[in-house]
Structure 1
Amino acid sequence: MSILLTLMLIIAGTKLAGDLAVRLGQPSVLGKLIAGIVLGPAALHWIEPEPFINEMSEIGVLLLMFIAGLETDLDQMKRNWRSSVAVAVGGIVAPFVGGYLASIAFGLSNGQSLFVGMLLCATSVSISVQTLKEMNALQSREGTTILGAAVVDDVIVVILLAVMMSVLGTGEGSSVSEIMIKNGLFFLLIVIVSLFVVPQVMKWFASLRVSEPIMSGALVLVCGYAYFAEEMAVAGIIGAFAAGITISQTRFKHEVEEKVNPIAYSLFVPVFFVSIGLNVRFEGIGSQLVFLLVLTLIAIAAKLIGGAIGARLTGFDRRSALMIGAGMVSRGEVALILAASGLESGLLPQRYFTTAIVLVIVTTLVTPPLLKLLNTGRSNAVKAVDQ
């Protein structure tokens, strides 16, 4: 299919599906995700996964996390760092144990079960970010805690992956010490560059006599931060998020925020949403349906409860704690990358790859309505207290 026709279908399909979701009382992101399933191989076969879609999708998720960084209240994130760590740890321990025990019960080997447990630890808050934005809750205490927990979660999961590759002898993983050194260097250098280099770089770009110099400088930083993150064994989305926080501390924040939204939401972000649905395949699922159902229930419940316990222990009320737990449920592109790595290294059997992909899709689909439900209850409770 022509690239132009594919993009036409993606843009039109996501906007119409998003509008329909809003009219039905759901976040628009839910409709956009379902549009990808309907347009893709699982239903109409109008759009197939292609390299250019994957590349545009990667740009879309980077821009989404960059915007989240721009809109993050850094002071509130600093105040909530204990909650973020507790939520991340709770949201890793519970899914890991649940995924491991379930896999053992269904006959997977010890190594394969460990990998499935680790796969359930992953969190990708890009979908949660969009949902929180639609609910005007991204800058709330709950929103900043979710974002902080996602950063901690990513670092821990990367280290877990390194441990697993080393212990299970796949020969494809870096040593744990190397991963930890790279992670530490990444955060140290990002802080130094953000404080002393970025403000000067943005001023220099602003002085250039070309069109959109400030926005161009911001995009250079996003790409540079994301690339550096990937080179240092940290997910690119964490680099993009850090770039957003960095620019939010400069005088260029509002101009960048105003101009990046049309770039992201008119093209790249819709492609990202559709690309998730394109991964859905139903062939061969029937023989693994029970395992898929059990694992999906564990994936949702363990993240929700584990994250909520971490939030509850650090001062959040029950409703807010559950909302934070719900924000960590989506596995998104992080788990897709882990699943592909597991398949390549032999830690995830080929016959379970589709199960893993469907699990990722389901956790991603349930996150927006779950967040909205819990946020509505929280808002009503706050109004009742105010009255």
Structure 2
Amino acid sequence: MADAASHASYLPPILTFCAGAVIAVPIFRKLGQSAVLGYLAAGIVIGPSLLGVIKDPNAIRSTAEIGVVLLLFLVGLELQPSRLYSMRKDILGSGLAQMGLSAAGIGLAGWWFGLSAAGAVAVGVALALSATSIALQQLEERGHGSEPYGRRTFSILLFQDMAIAPVLALLPLLATTGGPDAGSPMRAIASLGIALFALVLIVLAGRYVMNPLFRILAHSGAKEVMTAAALLIVLGAALLMEHVGLSMAMGAFLAGVMLADSHFRHELEADIEPFRGVLLGLFFMAVGMSLDLELVAANWLLLALAAPLLLLFKIAVVTSILRLSCSSWLEAIRAGALLSPAGEFAFVLLPLGLAQGLLTPQQAGVATALAAISMLLGPIAARLIDAALLSRVAPETMEEDFDGAGNSPVMVIGFGRFGQIVTQALLLQHIDVTVIDSDVERIRSAAQFGFKVYYGDGTRLDVLRAAGAGKARVICVCVDDRQAALHIVEMIKAEFPGVRLHVRAYDRIHAIELMKANVDFQTRETFESALGFGRVTLETLGLTRDEADLVIDHVRDRDAQRMEIQFHEGLAAAINRVPRVAPEPLVPPRAKSKPLTPETRQVIEDGGAEVAIGGVGEPER
């Protein structure tokens, strides 16, 4: 059992990180800035350059980088292989052009300032990379991941992640202190073969192993095991990629892509999201802690000029490339602003360049500080540029964009007998539907309808958010648990107020509770079917179709009137009016009931003192 000293060794840093995040992030969000800036600022304050609460930032960076790994996994979950293939031109064309032109321009500037040719290449490549976590975080905060400029931004980021492996192999080849076999063709071919084998292994596992595994775990009913399995797959794929010379982020991304078509996708996304958020925040704090303020003060003039120029240059490169690829000026500049800060891998490549002798400690320190400052200034510049651009957009254009975004699908929570009938009508009209259910067999049934079907607990806010509840026009709550339905209604009303809510009511009392919750539409699950049943019975007894319809409409109107009274005055509004909800005839019967047995007579007489004024039917509810 651990003693008090061992507990004390790790608790203070954890408390420090939590306190820094809790204080800094709300302040920056209050100022209208990204949460990323809050994490970076907190890292600077608690790092060795100021308060010195954390002495060694590198000690936590390896753990913090898992946040970037989980981020790429979640990004992969959003990209089906077919969609990824459709982005190949943007990935290879725009991504390669951005990387090449940015690295060349920054490298030439570095060489002009006195770097060696090899050092200039190292700095150029390191600073040409963009901050995947910052760009994706900003897109997520704006909700623009599916916008054209958001997709092109991601395409360039994806190419940069794929380029990490060749870049890591390039730096030792440039080193003057490299071993004699550093550039061996056979070694390079062997490394490439191992990397390709690992990629094929992940693809095959994703296609033939992951879905059956999650199906077995879902049948077990242990949700924490699903979380453990998700972390196992993500971190396992990342570790495998790292061992074969590729980036951990690339392995996690591939694992996500392989699960993008899975019915369990949104449950996995909801399980991973909390870990991603915490560890990604820790990563940004580690970047802030790595900023050496003494070095910044000693080179303040150089950094004050270089940081804005770096941002402007990268914005200009991306804007030019995307403008040539038929993007509008607005989209091109917005994407360029998101890609302007240096990336997370700069803090991997620059120390490697120092270790290989390509850079002096002074040069590596200045380049690292420049990367950190660009990550600090980049989100601010992106927000200012975005605000300035949108202020010039014509209102008519903004309204058109809003209308286009409004064609969101219907979401159906619960795919039991009620939900299946509801979706039949939507299917006939070819309406896009997202179905959420926590029953594996129902998920399999829903897959036959051609809907987007996802395994998940509809009472969890993170699952609803991950499945796109905020983008749906209508959410149909079709679960057969009255308390679960009320809980879902409460969450949706609080988190997604613009969405229409159509809810299945269990019985009359439940319907009134839903009316008080201000749902847009509710219906009792047996009411309309019972009326239809009664109409057919009337026709069988000799009434015409029109006569039967008039009777049924009269019953429906009388029931609606009584429901309105009970809604406004309460289920126990007056002792002589609505003491309880119970079956009651809507019109006075023409004759008294006739008990056919003594037992029946006794039951009626015992209950005669009670006044039964309530709804039609539903005596057992």
Give me the TM-score of the superposition, normalised by structure 2. 0.57
Quote the offset at 1:346 in angstroms.
0.7
Q: Secondary structure at the match of 2:294?
A: coil
Higher relative helix content: 1
Quote the offset at 1:213 in angstroms.
2.0
Quote the offset at 1:11 in angstroms.
1.7
Q: Secondary structure at the match of 1:333?
A: coil
Question: 1:100 is matched with which residue: 83, 107, 124?
Answer: 107
Q: Determine if the alignment matches structure 1 residue 29 to structure 2 residue 36.
A: yes
For 1:339 and 1:41, how far apart are their aligned partners in 2?
20
Question: 1:240 is matched with which residue: 248, 252, 255?
Answer: 252
Map 1:37-56 to 2 at 5 A: 37-49=44-56, 53-56=60-63
Moved more, 44-53 or 219-228: 44-53
Aligned to 1:352: 363
For 2:76 and 2:234, how far apart are their aligned partners in 1?
11
Quick check: 2:174–2:358 contact (8 Å CA) kept in 1? no
Aligned to 2:405: none
**Offset from partner CA, 1:223-275 (integer Å, 9 cap, x none):** 1111122123221112222222332321111111222222332x323322211
Aligned to 2:316: 305
Unaligned runs of 5+ in 2: 1-7, 400-621
Quote the offset at 1:281 in angstroms.
0.7
Quote the offset at 1:79 in angstroms.
3.1
Moved more, 296-305 or 338-347: 296-305
Map 1:72-83 to 2 at 5 A: 72=79, 76-83=83-90
Quote the offset at 1:75 in angstroms.
5.2
Aligned to 2:377: 366
Map 1:1-387 to 2 at 5 A: 2-49=9-56, 53-72=60-79, 76-171=83-178, 177-178=189-190, 180-208=192-220, 210-265=222-277, 267-376=278-387, 381=393, 383-387=395-399
Q: Residue 160 of structure 2 aligns to which amino acid in structure 1?
A: D
The higher-RCO structure (CA 8 Å, 6+ apart) is: 1
**Offset from partner CA, 1:268-324 (integer Å, 9 cap, x none):** 233222111110112244554454445434532332222222222222111211222
For 1:71 and 1:371, how far apart are their aligned partners in 2?
24
Moved more, 356-365 or 200-209: 200-209
Quick check: 2:118–2:358 contact (8 Å CA) kept in 1? yes
For 2:59 and 2:176, how far apart are their aligned partners in 1?
34
Q: CA RMSD in A?
A: 2.7
Q: Secondary structure at the match of 1:212?
A: helix
Moved more, 218-227 or 372-381: 372-381
Distance 1:199 1:145, change over 3 A: farther
For 1:270 and 1:334, how far apart are their aligned partners in 2?
16
- What is the identity percentage for the equivalent residue pairs of Structure 1 and Structure 2? 26
Q: Secondary structure at the match of 2:114?
A: coil
Q: Secondary structure at the match of 1:248?
A: coil
Quick check: 1:72–1:138 contact (8 Å CA) kept in 2? no
Moved more, 103-112 or 348-357: 103-112
Q: Residue 321 of structure 1 aligns to which amino acid in structure 2?
A: A
Unaligned runs of 5+ in 1: none
Moved more, 348-357 or 146-155: 146-155
Quick check: 2:161–2:249 contact (8 Å CA) kept in 1? no
Quick check: 2:48–2:54 contact (8 Å CA) kept in 1? yes
Quote the offset at 1:51 in angstroms.
6.1
Higher relative strand content: 2
Quick check: 2:39–2:284 contact (8 Å CA) kept in 1? yes
**Offset from partner CA, 1:170-220 (integer Å, 9 cap, x none):** 426565545554554454443333223322232233344655222221111
Q: Secondary structure at the match of 1:191?
A: helix
Quote the offset at 1:88 in angstroms.
1.7
